[in-house]
Amino acid sequence: MKFKLVSFRGKTTKKIVLFLCLLFCIILTAEILLRCIWGFGTMPLYVKSDKYEYMFAPNQEMTRFGEYFFTNSYCQRNQEPDSTKIIILGIGDSVINGGSQTHNDSLATNIISKETDFQMLNISAGSWGPDNCAAYLKQWGTFNAKAIFVLLSSHDANDIMNFSPTVGIHKSFPAKQYPLAILEVIDRYIIPRLIPKGNNLDPDQKVLKGIDKGEKFNNGWKELKSIAENANIPLIVILHAEISEIRKQEYNNKGQMIEKWASDNNIKLIKDISYLQESHYRDQIHINNSGQRVIADIIKQELKLIFKN
């Protein structure tokens, strides 16, 4: 009887060991596939700032969802500033930034750098407003730029910095990598779909939800004008249309506030509502690669006018 009991326990132990080995192999295979094919486990990270809230961390390079992502030592989505070229600044929010869903080479700013004699820097972050942009330039300077293009949307009329905790708090603004790609998938993509976030939205999600940010006009617009004037360079505003505005072919009341400010302050304002179509969008605000190309063409045309002599 004792011999049979030992034999039964031995078979049970073997089954447990085989199960654990099989489970380990499944997890290992899933981890390799998630990392190598989709780029999970290597997220673009963010850093906090007491000046401009947050930005992508510097010196990152990875392939994520099949798209190449790169930031330089200044947290910009471009190569290091090249003093041998004419520098142009491209500043704004997630539209000009592109996020990890946009290949660095597909960004409008990098298209300019590739196809012209200029180098266009991409100084941007998700849900930045004009005050974020101005604060960055106040800290780091204008890099001896010869022109500033700011691409922002109607809601940026009053998108004012509030320095609410974001980096490392909201899952879409991570400060460090997960130890396993599987954990990232579970924590960032599966759990949020099973458990509603309620009102705990990150800045980008608030924009996409159309959450009103008040009526006070953002003082960052005035600060950007002052920065450009002090550097004696042109400031060009590209007012980006949300897809709802594309359908109406009219900017909303907040966009009209920006239009009025630009007119009152003799700032050139370009309306991309006249150039973009619904097919250029990947959601109600952000543009796809073809939309980035349209923005690049708009900027190239304007650069010809600025530097025609």
Do the beta carbons of residue 86 and residue 120 sit within 8 Å? no
Do the beta carbons of residue 97 and residue 109 sit within 8 Å? no
* pLDDT score for 59: 98
Amino acid symbol at 155: H
Domains in the chain: boundaries: 46-165+208-306
Beta-bridge partners for 88: 120
pLDDT of 1 strictly over 50 = no
* pLDDT score for 197: 67
Do the beta carbons of residue 171 and residue 188 sit within 8 Å? yes
Position with higher pLDDT, 91 vs 22: 91
Question: What is the pTM assigned to this prediction?
Answer: 0.90
pLDDT > 70: percent of the chain? 94
Q: Which two tokens stand for residue 177?
A: 């990598």
* pLDDT score for 207: 76
Beta-bridge partners for 68: 63
* pLDDT score for 211: 66
- How far is it, in rounded angstroms, from Cα 113 to Cα 85? 10
CATH architecture of 46-165+208-306: 3-Layer(aba) Sandwich (3.40)
pLDDT of 3 strictly over 60 = no
* pLDDT score for 237: 98
* pLDDT score for 4: 52
Dump the DSSP string for 154-220: GGGGS------S-TTTSTTS-SS--SSHHHHIIIIIIHHHHS--TT---HHHHHHTT----SPPPTH
Separation of CA 268 from chain center: 25
pLDDT bucket at 12, cuts 50 / 70 / 90: confident
Residue 206, class by beta-carbon neighbours within 10 Å (0-12 exposed, 13-18 middle, 19+ buried)?
Answer: middle
Per-residue pLDDT of 51-108, as tens digits, reads: 999 999 999 999 999 999 999 999 999 999 999 999 999 999 999 999 999 999 999 9
Residue 107, class by beta-carbon neighbours within 10 Å (0-12 exposed, 13-18 middle, 19+ buried)?
Answer: buried
* pLDDT score for 14: 85
